[in-house]
Amino acid sequence: MNKVLIGVLAGLVLGALDGATAWFTPSARSAMASILVGSSIKGLLVGLVAGFYARKVNSTGKGVTLAAVIGLILAFVVAVMDAQAGEQHYLQIMLPGFITGAMIGFFTQRYGALAKQS
Amino acid sequence: MSYLPNRVVERLREVVDLPDLTGTRYRLEREIGRGGMGVVYEVFDAQLERRVALKVLAAPHADSAAAERLLAEARVAAQLEHPGVIPLYDAGTLPDGRVYYTMKLVAGSHLSDYVRAAAPLSGRLRVFQKLCDAVAFAHSRGVVHRDLKPANVMVGPFGEVLVVDWGIGVAGTPRYRAPEQASGGDRPVGPAADVFSLGAILRTLLPADAPRPLRAVADRAMAEDPAERYPDAGSLDREIGRFLDGRAVEAYRESTLERGVRFYRKNQPLLVLLLVYVVIRFVLFFWPRP
């Protein structure tokens, strides 16, 4: 399995799990479906970038940092959209998004095969 | 009647032993190594303007049988085109009748010196893997080294590994020699003998407090019965790769605790991140909401 695919799968699964934790916030339960979809797409995007980066750069530290930063940026975008809808959950969305991104970065660096040289 | 002083006799002996390079493209620089039968000199190749290593039989051993063995060694090494096998450039006979061959001059150190320089364990194991790779390549070409030892392995300044002395060491070196080689009887000496020598080399690369799985790998490679060793150098290479990747090795049955410790070490960053995630979620759960 190549690193991009690892990134996409890890992003989808971890993103969905991260989104699922919103269930513990009673006010968010009514929007669980959209949170799950949005969080999965966020994870997928982080995994895609981290996967392509891992194909070029073999460094766990750099890969984890990059994915964490992208996770944080995307989580900030989601938090802004949430705030515009009237709810402010910056901390609740951005902190876990940052850590989830780091985990996706770790998976792409540690697992999966590099692209074949042509 | 007067006798020559000892130091003069010694000097004469040295001069007689020096190869006669008259009329060749090579100019003698210095001696860089001496084995049981051959001597290796650093020479300057005037035609290509570069320094190379020249191996020639030591004068006392320069009979026809030894000359044939040195040529056979050159032919064997010339067949093996691999980054881990020292490349040969030229072979022939010197004006003094001694057979020689020239090869790449390696600006590195012997494996034993490399180990003494306190290289980290992972670095030593990667060097060992390159050695296994070169030996596996030779085996795939039907060539068995028979005298693998740290003195026959050069490590370059960039970690490149070059195996030298192919073919002359039929008897092997006691500390690194397989039992079937030492007995000299009717037991066949095949690639398994090289696997034994690789195990002995691995043992010299390991520090006193080496992890148990690594010691078990060396023990299996050095099993008395060739059938109990790794089937080839490639298998030994892969076994070391498994250890370096944090996976279990075939030669060692680990306990549940050891398995857990290995899993933790391999996935330490991920486990730390998971813990941080859970703590953050836990804290955020009780965080005051607007």
User: What is the layout of strands, in order, in the sheet containing B26-34?
Assistant: B26-34, B38-45, B50-57, B99-104, B88-93
Distance CA B146, CA B191 (A): 8
Question: What CA–CA distance (Å, rounded) separates B122 from B216?
Answer: 17
Q: How many angstroms separate the CA atoms of B202 and B229, rounded? A: 14
- Residue A118: predicted pLDDT: 45
CB pairs under 8 A between A and B: 33
Average pLDDT over residues B23-42: 87
Q: Which tens digits make up the pLDDT trace of B120-138?
A: 899 899 999 999 999 999 9
Query: Are the Cβ atoms of A106 and B270 closer than 8 angstroms?
Result: yes
Helix (H, G, I), strand (E, B) or coil at B246: coil
Q: What is the ipTM of this complex?
A: 0.89
Q: Chain A residues within 8 A (CB-CB) of chain B?
A: 21, 24, 27, 60, 64, 88, 91-92, 95-96, 99-100, 102-103, 106-107, 110
The tens digit of pLDDT for each residue in B32-41 reads 888 767 889 9
* Helix and strand element counts for chain A (H, E): 4, 0
In the predicted structure, residue A15 carries a pLDDT above the cut 90: yes
The per-residue pLDDT for B164 is 87
- Chain B positions in Cβ-Cβ contact with residue A63 (cut-off 8 Å): none
Please indicate whether, in this complex, the C-beta atoms of A96 and B281 are within 8 angstroms of each other. yes
Cβ of B277 within 8 Å of Cβ of A103? The answer is yes
Which chain B residue lies closest to A95 (C-alpha atoms)?
A: B280
For the stretch A73-111, pLDDT in tens is: 999 999 998 888 777 888 888 999 999 999 999 999 988
Give the nearest partner residue to B269 out of A27, A91, A106, using CB atoms: A106
Given a cut of 60, whether residue B106 has pLDDT beyond it is: yes
Give the residue-averaged pLDDT of B231-253.
Answer: 94
Q: Are B60 and B16 in contact (CB under 8 A)?
A: no
pLDDT of residue B16: 66
Mean pLDDT of A18-47: 90
pLDDT at B166: 81
Q: How many Å apart are CA B214 and CA A64, to the nearest integer? A: 30
Contact of B103 with B50, CB cutoff 8 Å? no
Q: B267 — phi, psi (to 5°)?
A: -115, 25
For chain B, give the mean pLDDT.
87
